[in-house]
Structure 1
Amino acid sequence: MNPIIKIPFYAKITLILLGLISITYILFIGQNIIVPVVMSFLFAILLEPIVAFLKSKLHFPHVLGVIITVLIFVLVILSLFIFLSFKISDIIEDFDKIERNLNIHLNNIQRFVRDNFHLSSREQKEYLDSATEDSMEKGKEIIGTTLLSFTDTILNITLIPIYTFLILLYKTHFMLFLSKLFKKESHPKLREILNQIKVAVKSYIVGLIIEMIVVSILTTLGFMIIGLKYAILLGIITGILNLIPYIGILFAGILSIVASLTGSPDLSIIIGVIVVSIIVQLIDNNILVPMIVSSKVEINAFVSIIGIIIGGAIAGVSGMFLAIPVLAILKVIFDRIESLEAWGYLMGDHLPKTYTWRNIKLPLFDSKTETKNILIKTDITVPVFTETTTETDINKKE
């Protein structure tokens, strides 16, 4: 019988921190390899039902079913890319109009500053030159980084379909590999974890696609109402960029404002674009995300935000996009391993969202009610401390 070695708490914390640092460093230096593989894994989970349909209903061979599925996936992405390329080229042709209308707004701003702050156009130009002089070098670095990121993105776009094809092709092979890593007693638990990962990832990606379509439609309708040129193109771009947390919608708003200058220099169009973007974001954040996306992945907002920030620091925009599905996979694993169950609970969102008041469900903000419900569900008892509680009383209770 092997003796059980007990490790002190400080040693466990040290090992955990070293492990996290090592994993983060490996992810950072290997992001160009890891990110396409993880993206391909997610797409493979999404496309797997199509392969199953072709094999079971149409009786296609496995290899042929995988080839057709990946080809359909590539054709859909290429069609969207070609459509956007043609429309964006139309905006580029109107660049002279954009520059002319932008100069009109800049002159109006200079006139406003001159009349209200008594600064001449020459003084304003000197202030701008002095303010931008120090940032020129940073701008060059940003441009260089952007070009490198663009080349990496092009490389990933070519690798992802290949990786997706191979993951779908060797799905059974990988499953047998995982089964050989664990004892037969652990196979039911392994099967449960894999099934839950597939359900969570597939539901999340489908939710994102639905959110993208709805945001695109709402933005397009809003831009059409205010009479914005290229409303359909800008609506689709907004829906796609909305998939990138935080910075995506900001970039889409700036692009829409610039594109609005292709029509007329009227300031009301720019205000209309800002109002439509704000309204769509309110609908997205308060209705679409809680109902379509957040309901698919039970991760609380605090962990989500930290995960997105860490993902962005490690792998940029791709890391921010992959943060939530990776957290969902980790939560599924943690929830089903006894020693890691507490971490799964920490990542989850188990607080009640509503309470009933006269047959009407309202948001729950009462911390006492929340705590009571948690204690009832988890059968946890905690000591109640009052202002008169002393250290001796606590020791007596213990």
Structure 2
Amino acid sequence: MFEVVRGWVNRFLSEEEAVLLAAILIVSTVVILSMGDILAPLLTGIVLAYVMQGTIKFLMRLQVPKSASVLLTFLLFMGGFVALLFFVIPRVWRQMRALFDNLPEMIDRSHELLATLPAAYPSLVSEPQVNSWIDMLNSEASEIGQWLLSFSLSQLPFVVSLAVYIMLVPILVFFLLKDQDEIMAWWMSFLPSRRPLLNQIGEEMNQQMANYIRGKVIEIIIVGLGSYVFFKIMGLDYAALLAFLVGLSVIVPYVGFVAVTFPVVVIAYLQFGWGSEFLTIMFGYFVIQGIDGMVIVPLLFSEAVNLHPIAIITAVLVFGSWWGLWGVFFAIPLATLVKAVMTSWPQVPGPADGRL
């Protein structure tokens, strides 16, 4: 057993840079897992500043001085931040409250619709089945009510934390943009002057993660805004809330689409019934999803590393269980990081490799 372990160590950890990379990955994971909540504003600021580097570089290519590029980019960020804070989120919140207020009426409407199924489809649905569905629906509604009550009683710490984040994140973003070169020089001073492995992985991940994050933000805006305009034109209730969910659903490929389709179908059916309006909404919704999958994604992520759907779903489950929503959002770039590390990791050929 000892010989096996020693052989594995000699094969994969024989170079100093490989040991350093392993130490960086382990320490980073431990710090984020143990102090993620405390460092959340800083991590959020780093991500936002990283996303805006593309805008700064674009302005500098237009011969705009760096200081002016940083200022213009920060003002653009603050404009979007204020719009999100004072226009998008309040509208979504009001519609969410209206949805919960109308939940009993929607449940009664669901009971009425379910009660008509045995007469309409006697060969497919029986009254005992409908009764069991109604009991399950009542049970789920009761659990939702209990969750809302517990959430309302425990939301004060969340509100305080959110207020702190709202104040800290813009300040952190500004200084991260302004002093990026000094911060990077300070960080690089702790690393060896000669680091080909770290440079290779860093360059690959910088390109892939930058393309992914910026593309994903653009995709969320396009899909969410397009869904809102369509739902509003069709007169669908809770258009802002549903469009917000549809926009966020693109964060999680495959799973997000399945999860967000259910509320869209239910609300449209309860409002319009089985008619032309319902079918039009469903057709338009699936057209938006098709445009996203066949046009927007190929255009925005043409340079992304291909990952198998099983790898994507596994990454979403693993990183989402570790870091919540942030883990879900960064599941694909983190999976890409794992793939890049595994591909680039230096190895000393073992005896079996030598014979081959």
Structure 2: which 5+ residue stretches go unaligned?
14-18
Structure 1 SS opposite 2:189: helix
Distance between the aligned counterparts of 1:240 and 1:183, measured in 2?
Answer: 40
Q: Does the C-alpha gap of structure 1 residues 177 and 299 become closer, same or farther in structure 2, counting only changes over 3 Å?
A: farther
Structure-1 residue corresponding to 2:78: 74
Distance between the aligned counterparts of 1:216 and 1:140, measured in 2?
Answer: 26
Distance between the aligned counterparts of 1:153 and 1:136, measured in 2?
Answer: 23
User: How much does 1:275 deviate?
Assistant: 4.4
Distance between the aligned counterparts of 1:52 and 1:161, measured in 2?
Answer: 20
User: How much does 1:128 deviate?
Assistant: 4.5
Structure-1 residue corresponding to 2:227: 219
Deviation string for 1:360-391 (max 9, x for gaps)? xxxxxxxxxxxxxxxxxxxxxx9xxxxxxxxx
Q: Among residues 194, 209, 212, which one is paired with 1:185 in the alignment?
A: 194
Structure-2 residue corresponding to 1:173: 182
Identify, as 1 or 2, the structure richer in helix: 2
Distance between the aligned counterparts of 1:193 and 1:145, measured in 2?
Answer: 46
Give the stretch that moved more between structures: 28-37 or 153-162.
153-162
Output the amino acid matched with 2:184.
Answer: M
Distance between the aligned counterparts of 2:40 and 2:347, measured in 1?
Answer: 28
**Once superposed, what is the RMSD of the aligned Cα atoms?**
5.0
Output the amino acid matched with 2:6.
Answer: P
What is the TM-score when the length of structure 1 is the normalising length? 0.61
Output the amino acid matched with 2:273.
Answer: D
Distance between the aligned counterparts of 1:273 and 1:99, measured in 2?
Answer: 24
Distance between the aligned counterparts of 2:30 and 2:38, measured in 1?
Answer: 14
> Would you say 1:8 and 2:16 are equivalent positions?
no
Structure 1 SS opposite 2:37: helix
Q: Among residues 15, 31, 37, which one is paired with 1:32 in the alignment?
A: 37
Structure 2 SS opposite 1:181: coil
Report if aligned partners of 1:98, 1:258 keep a CA contact under 8 Å in 2: no
Report if aligned partners of 2:319, 2:327 keep a CA contact under 8 Å in 1: yes
Distance between the aligned counterparts of 1:281 and 1:322, measured in 2?
Answer: 21
Give the stretch that moved more between structures: 172-181 or 31-40.
31-40
Report if aligned partners of 2:223, 2:246 keep a CA contact under 8 Å in 1: yes
Distance between the aligned counterparts of 1:244 and 1:120, measured in 2?
Answer: 33
> Would you say 1:203 and 2:211 are equivalent positions?
yes
Distance between the aligned counterparts of 2:143 and 2:316, measured in 1?
Answer: 27
The structure, 1 or 2, with the larger RCO (C-alpha pairs under 8 Å, 6+ apart) is 2
Structure-2 residue corresponding to 1:305: 313
What pairs up with 1:210-289 in 2 under 5 angstroms? 210-216=218-224, 219-220=227-228, 223=231, 228=236, 234-235=242-243, 237-245=245-253, 248-250=256-258, 252-257=260-265, 260=268, 264-268=271-275, 269-289=277-297
Structure-2 residue corresponding to 1:107: 112
User: How much does 1:222 deviate?
Assistant: 5.1
Report if aligned partners of 2:111, 2:134 keep a CA contact under 8 Å in 1: no
Distance between the aligned counterparts of 1:154 and 1:133, measured in 2?
Answer: 31
User: How much does 1:317 deviate?
Assistant: 1.5
User: How much does 1:322 deviate?
Assistant: 1.6
Structure-2 residue corresponding to 1:377: none
Report if aligned partners of 2:201, 2:340 keep a CA contact under 8 Å in 1: yes
Output the amino acid matched with 1:70.
Answer: F
User: How much does 1:321 deviate?
Assistant: 0.4
Q: Does the C-alpha gap of structure 1 residues 206 and 146 become closer, same or farther in structure 2, counting only changes over 3 Å?
A: farther
Report if aligned partners of 1:44, 1:167 keep a CA contact under 8 Å in 2: yes
User: How much does 1:310 deviate?
Assistant: 1.0
Structure-1 residue corresponding to 2:16: none
Structure 2 SS opposite 1:296: coil
What pairs up with 1:289-368 in 2 under 5 angstroms? 289-293=297-301, 295-332=303-340, 335-339=343-347
User: How much does 1:117 deviate?
Assistant: 2.9
> Would you say 1:43 and 2:73 are equivalent positions?
no
Give the stretch that moved more between structures: 92-101 or 272-281.
92-101
Distance between the aligned counterparts of 1:124 and 1:303, measured in 2?
Answer: 37
What pairs up with 1:12-161 in 2 under 5 angstroms? 26-52=31-57, 57-59=63-65, 62=67, 66-85=70-89, 87-88=91-92, 91=95, 100=105, 103-112=108-117, 117-118=126-127, 127-128=135-136, 139=147, 143=151, 147=155, 151=159, 155-161=164-170
Deviation string for 1:77-134 (max 9, x for gaps)? 221343324544674696677754653342221343588534599x769945995699
Distance between the aligned counterparts of 1:6 and 1:74, measured in 2?
Answer: 56
Report if aligned partners of 1:311, 1:323 keep a CA contact under 8 Å in 2: yes
Paired residues, number: 333
Report if aligned partners of 1:207, 1:296 keep a CA contact under 8 Å in 2: no
Distance between the aligned counterparts of 2:81 and 2:240, measured in 1?
Answer: 18
User: How much does 1:313 deviate?
Assistant: 0.5
Distance between the aligned counterparts of 1:93 and 1:295, measured in 2?
Answer: 41
Report if aligned partners of 2:92, 2:244 keep a CA contact under 8 Å in 1: no
Report if aligned partners of 1:35, 1:318 keep a CA contact under 8 Å in 2: no
What is the TM-score when the length of structure 2 is the normalising length? 0.67
Deviation string for 1:323-380 (max 9, x for gaps)? 222333455555555349xxxxxxxxxxxxxxxxxxxxxxxxxxxxxxxxxxxxxxxx
